[in-house]
């Protein structure tokens, strides 16, 4: 079965290479037509997409982010011809998307790959089966199926895909699988973009607008797939004296957002499956942190729901502080002075995003200079994701490469250097036999000396 699957996949990739080699994906009109097709799909199939997202994650409509797909398409269409001039497509690319935003994280990279003129294979996540099935059904109706393919399946299908030779692999997911992707890519020296994650810190100074800060943290944490997002705030650092005020503000905001019984709120996504529910349950039930819960803690295993849960001063060596939480649990760590947060953050792996709430411009400058992260946002969370003019990507263990806007186009493009010379202007100094006069001119040329360059172009030293 595995051998047959591999042969079939090789044939699919070979067919895509044939289409690319024949120029099927390179013309501006073809690229624009595919982008317009995706734009139509986002508009016409919006209800279907929302139903699939709800089936997979109980996502509220506001978290479908179809508007972001439309925005990406329009931005690419507007700039396509300008972007195309200095760039060349790579060839046939593989996109492996994630389950937490299964529509957005599938289509957004495809937009960049198509705009750049590539043939594409999409492997959507099997952990979001309704959306995966819908993508396999929808895309052939709106784009050129001979150049853009969807492959459904699980680990076996992904493994077979990774055995093929690609011109680029774009993977969104966790670091464990990211390492597998990178190891597979290394066999063919295939370049990769890895959009991973990490423990995204939120440093909260004591001089902030407390109500706005609490709302923006809550929106970035629980309003982003109930914490199941790579840029979701993972933990807060604030001072011991300010922590009670921040906790009180968060409690008020969360009750306003999701009511007194958040498990019944239709605005709170569920945990994706029982495996992830049990993983989060284990973090909550750890004897070192279970008595640190200061808000929330309710859960409904039957419906895979966990309420927004806040912890205060959990041990730094506990599981909840050692791994990316990827769920509705939020520890608050307290320090004596806010600057102590820098060393704590830098003792961990580099996050995909780092957040700071402050009115102190000097603290902001120090944070920007000291903390290494894929992206940084001051006085808000998560919204940098929506800015088409900013690169979105990780650093260190949070990933490599970036996309969004022009950066998506460049992620799937090659800057090919082309120099065309005329037959006139022979530089005699470059050819043997060499003499002191020739070497003097050559050294001058390499140093950028204008006089030496002119002599070389004019053919000096002549007759030697």
The predicted pLDDT at position 372 comes to 98
Is 148 found in the same domain as 49? yes
pLDDT digits (tens, 9 = 90+) for 70-104: 999 999 999 999 999 889 999 999 999 999 999 99
Q: Which of 81-90, 158-167, 379-388 has the lowest mean pLDDT?
A: 81-90
Is 420 inside a domain boundary?
Answer: no
Is 41 found in the same domain as 189? yes
pLDDT digits (tens, 9 = 90+) for 416-432: 999 998 998 888 999 99
- Residue 433: asked if its preceding bond is cis (omega within 30°), the reply is yes
Q: Which of 165-169, 247-251, 443-447 has the lowest mean pLDDT?
A: 443-447
- Distance (Å, rounded) from C-alpha 147 to C-alpha 317? 49
- Parent domain of 333: 201-393
The most distant pair of C-alpha atoms in the chain lies apart, rounded to whole Å, by 94
- Distance (Å, rounded) from C-alpha 206 to C-alpha 23? 59
Is 210 found in the same domain as 129? no
CB under 8 Å to 224, separation ≥6 — which residues? 63, 231, 232, 382
- Distance (Å, rounded) from C-alpha 97 to C-alpha 99? 7
* Residue of 49, 65, 99, 98 lying closest to 270 (CA atoms): 99
Is 423 inside a domain boundary?
Answer: no
Is 399 inside a domain boundary?
Answer: no
- Give the HSE-up count for residue 373: Cα atoms under 13 Å, Cβ half-sphere: 28
Inform me whether the pLDDT recorded for 384 exceeds 70. yes
Is 463 inside a domain boundary?
Answer: no
CATH of the domain at 182: 3.40.605.10
Is 208 found in the same domain as 127? no
The predicted pLDDT at position 268 comes to 96
Is 376 found in the same domain as 279? yes
The DSSP bridge partners found for residue 88 are 414
Is 338 found in the same domain as 220? yes
Instruction: Identify whether the C-beta of residue 234 lies closer than 8 Å to the C-beta of residue 294.
Output: no
Is 89 inside a domain boundary?
Answer: yes
The predicted pLDDT at position 86 comes to 82
The predicted pLDDT at position 282 comes to 98
The predicted pLDDT at position 1 comes to 52
Is 464 inside a domain boundary?
Answer: no
Q: With bands split at pLDDT 50, 70 and 90, how would you rate the model's confidence at 2? A: low
Q: Which residues are catalytic?
A: 195, 230
* Residue of 147, 98, 144 lying closest to 120 (CA atoms): 147
Is 122 inside a domain boundary?
Answer: yes
The predicted pLDDT at position 333 comes to 99
- Distance (Å, rounded) from C-alpha 232 to C-alpha 199? 8
Inform me whether the pLDDT recorded for 463 exceeds 80. no
Is 107 inside a domain boundary?
Answer: yes
Is 175 found in the same domain as 265? no
pTM for the structure as a whole: 0.95
Is 353 found in the same domain as 251? yes
Question: How many domains is the chain partitioned into structurally?
Answer: 3
Is 29 found in the same domain as 112? yes
- Distance (Å, rounded) from C-alpha 26 to C-alpha 117? 5
Inform me whether the pLDDT recorded for 464 exceeds 80. no
CB atoms within 10 A of CB 416: 8
pLDDT > 70 in the chain, percent: 98
CB atoms within 10 A of CB 415: 8
CATH of the domain at 361: 3.40.309.10
The predicted pLDDT at position 161 comes to 98
Is 152 found in the same domain as 87? yes
Is 175 found in the same domain as 250? no
- Both tokens of residue 364? 């902001």
Q: With bands split at pLDDT 50, 70 and 90, how would you rate the model's confidence at 148? A: very high
pLDDT digits (tens, 9 = 90+) for 227-286: 999 999 999 999 999 999 999 999 999 999 999 999 999 999 999 999 999 999 999 999
Is 108 found in the same domain as 176? yes
pLDDT digits (tens, 9 = 90+) for 101-127: 999 999 999 999 999 999 999 999 999
């Amino acid at each position: 079965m595995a051998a047959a699957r591999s042969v079939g996949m090789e044939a699919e990739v070979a067919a895509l290479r044939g289409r690319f080699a024949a120029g099927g994906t390179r013309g501006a009109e073809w690229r624009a037509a595919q982008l317009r097709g995706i734009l139509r799909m986002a508009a016409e199939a919006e209800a279907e997409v929302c139903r699939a997202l709800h089936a997979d994650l109980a996502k509220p409509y506001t978290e479908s982010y179809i508007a972001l797909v439309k925005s990406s398409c329009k931005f690419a269409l507007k700039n396509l011809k300008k972007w195309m001039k200095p760039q060349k497509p790579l060839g046939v690319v593989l996109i492996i998307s994630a389950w937490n935003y299964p529509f957005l994280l599938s289509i957004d990279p495809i937009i960049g790959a198509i705009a750049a003129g590539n043939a594409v294979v999409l492997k959507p996540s099997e952990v979001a089966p309704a959306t995966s099935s819908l993508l396999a059904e929808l895309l052939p109706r709106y784009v050129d199926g001979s150049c853009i393919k969807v492959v459904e399946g699980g680990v076996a299908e992904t493994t077979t895909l990774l055995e093929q030779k690609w011109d680029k692999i774009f993977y969104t997911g966790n670091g464990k699988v990211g390492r597998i992707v990178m190891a597979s890519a290394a066999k063919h020296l295939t370049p990769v973009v890895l959009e991973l994650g990490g423990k995204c810190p939120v440093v909260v100074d004591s001089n902030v607008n407390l109500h706005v800060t609490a709302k923006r943290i809550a929106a970035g944490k629980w309003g982003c797939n109930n914490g199941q997002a790579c840029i979701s705030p993972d933990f807060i650092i604030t001072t011991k004296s300010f922590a009670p005020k921040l906790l009180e503000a968060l409690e008020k905001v969360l009750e306003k957002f999701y009511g007194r019984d958040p498990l019944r709120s239709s605005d709170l996504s569920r945990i994706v499956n029982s495996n992830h529910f049990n993983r989060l349950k284990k973090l909550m039930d750890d004897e070192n942190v279970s008595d640190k819960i200061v808000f929330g803690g309710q859960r409904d295993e039957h419906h895979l729901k966990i309420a927004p849960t806040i912890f205060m001063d959990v041990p730094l060596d506990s599981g909840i502080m050692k791994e990316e939480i990827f769920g509705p649990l939020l520890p608050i760590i307290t320090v004596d002075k806010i600057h102590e947060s820098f060393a704590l953050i830098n003792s961990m792996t580099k996050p995909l995003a780092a957040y700071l709430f402050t009115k102190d411009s000097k603290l902001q400058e120090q944070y920007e200079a000291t903390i290494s992260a894929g992206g940084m946002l001051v006085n808000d969370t998560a919204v940098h994701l929506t800015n088409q003019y900013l690169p979105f990507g990780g650093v260190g263990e949070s990933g490599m490469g970036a996309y969004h806007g022009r950066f998506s186009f460049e992620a799937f493009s090659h800057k090919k250097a082309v120099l065309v010379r005329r037959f006139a202007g022979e530089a005699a100094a470059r050819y043997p036999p060499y003499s002191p006069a020739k070497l003097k001119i050559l050294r001058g040329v390499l140093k950028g000396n204008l006089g030496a360059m002119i002599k070389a172009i004019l053919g000096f030293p002549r007759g030697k």
